[in-house]
Amino acid sequence: MSTGLSVKPSMWIQKQMRARVHSSFPEAKKINERLQNFETSFQKITYELIDKKATISAKEFKERIKKEAQLPSYVKDGKSFWYYFDEFVAFKKKTQSSYVYRDYHYSLRKHLKATESMHGRITGFSSLKQESDSFYDLFYEYLSYEAINQEGNKGLSVNTVGKNVKNLKAFLHWCFDKEICTRFPLKHMVVEQVESDKVYLTQDEIQKLYELKDLSTKEKETRDLFLIACETGMRFKNLTQIKKINYQDDQLIFFQVKSSGIKAKLIIPLSDLHRKIASSYNYELPKLTYNTFVFNKTLRSLCEEAGIDQEVLVQKVSKYGTRELVSKKYELVSSHTARRSFCTNKFLKGLPASVIMKFSGHSSERSFLKYLKLDAEVVAKKYKAFF
């Protein structure tokens, strides 16, 4: 069967059955993408026939390959990668938190588009497969060495690169499950992670934050919701959904919505600080009218005002190496710091990890341990009596 393509022998790699990509042969990339479409079409039709235990004539087989190969990214209805990416993002917006939605809608989309622009390539399902000069390799290289990080330097941190790879894989698995495209192995998409530097607030720092005076309504509500999260270990999404009926018998009772969508019933006794704050609102907690970005910005300003400004040594790990940066502690605080503070402070008070997990809603010890900020200073403080 002829593909209708022609390549000079000197520009053909026989072992890979692909055209050689070279500056003197600019058509090579398009030819290789065309060949990939033919190969993918052949595999898709073959798998369908095997699955259905069906047979067709050689002529019909050729016609189906030709028809299938015309599709821009071998997906049903001829719709593109980005058409289904938009569908996936819309699905995430309805079912996940705003944090998860933004990771796909802004971060992953931005980096894929930037890779397209840099290399003059179009993102397609076939181009993400493991092969020579694949779009995925270009995407990974862009994240690791070209994308601008928060400090204005080239190269995202290893964890940020890993997060984008993980999100890309999640999208592809969604497409596979919906039979949008032909399933292919994703073993080459390795999600790398290193231990990251995160902070927690001590009980003294939490008290300093509570004692702040002359706050605006937005500042007070931000502070109070954050402190309740420090006393309960609640996820930010759950905290914003608490109503008066959730307070019963000096306890907070609610169903925690996890990232998977599963709900787990949690019952948390009220601490003195939690009770003071909640009762000041008659147990009708304020509803935020601004997003988490504004919440975190306001929170950091409050932490600075409370004197939570000790210097913290932070390591940034990227493909360029490990850099040590000095930050003020308040600069590293976010809404999620509350959950980490709850877990760490309860552990330091002697509460067993298995019990803390009952309150925090962690289903595995592995995921729970990520929230314990057990750096050298904390470990030394906790086990000083043993020396």
The tens digit of pLDDT for each residue in 319-353 reads 666 777 788 999 989 998 998 899 889 988 888 88
State the residue for tokens 């181009």.
Answer: 127
- Give the pLDDT confidence of 267-281 residue by residue, as tens digits: 899 999 999 999 999
What is the percent of the chain where pLDDT is above 90?
A: 36
- Residue 72 reports pLDDT greater than 50: no
pLDDT at 86: 93
Residues contacting 159, CB < 8 A, separation 6+: 192, 193, 194, 196, 317
What does the pLDDT read at residue 347? 85
Question: Is residue 168 classed exposed, middle or buried when 0-12, 13-18 and 19+ CB atoms within 10 A define those classes?
Answer: buried
| H or E element, residue 18 | strand 18-19
CA distance 226 to 298: 11
Output the pLDDT for position 2. Answer: 62
pLDDT per position as a tens digit, 126-140: 888 876 668 899 999
Alpha-carbon Rg for the chain, nearest whole angstrom, is 27
Q: Which two tokens stand for residue 283?
A: 């147990």
Angle value at C-alpha 274, between 269 and 280, nearest 5 degrees = 130
Would you give the DSSP letter of residue 254?
E
Cβ-defined contacts of 13-17 (< 8 Å, 24+): 16/131, 16/132
- At 265 the pLDDT is 82
pLDDT-derived band at 73, boundaries 50, 70, 90: very low
* Percent of the residues in the chain that have a pLDDT greater than 70, as a whole number: 86
User: Which pair of structure tokens corresponds to residue 95?
Assistant: 């079912």
pLDDT band at 78; cut points 50, 70, 90:
low
Mean pLDDT throughout 93-110?
A: 85
What H or E segment, with its residue span, contains residue 223? helix 217-232
- How far apart, in Å, are the Cα atoms of 207 and each of 91, 172, 211, 306? 41, 46, 6, 9
213: pLDDT strictly greater than 90: yes
Q: Cβ neighbours of residue 252 under 8 Å, at least 6 residues apart?
A: 232, 242, 246, 266, 267, 268, 269, 270, 274
Which residue's structure tokens are 């409370």? 306
What is the pLDDT at residue 330? 92
Give bridge partners of residue 13 from the DSSP assignment. 18
In the prediction, which pLDDT does 277 show? 96
What gap in Å lies between CA 256 and CA 244, rounded to an integer? 16
Q: Can you give the length of the chain in residues?
A: 387
Q: Side chain identity at 234, as an amino acid letter?
A: M
- Backbone angles phi and psi of 341, in degrees to 5: -65, -45
CA distances for 176 relative to 144, 173, 185, angstroms:
27, 5, 11
Q: d(Cα 214, Cα 193) in Å, to the nearest integer?
A: 42
Average pLDDT, the chain: 84
E-strand spans in 176-305?
Answer: 247-248, 251-257, 263-269
Confidence at residue 132, expressed as pLDDT on a 0 to 100 scale: 63
Averaged over 304-309, what is the pLDDT? 95
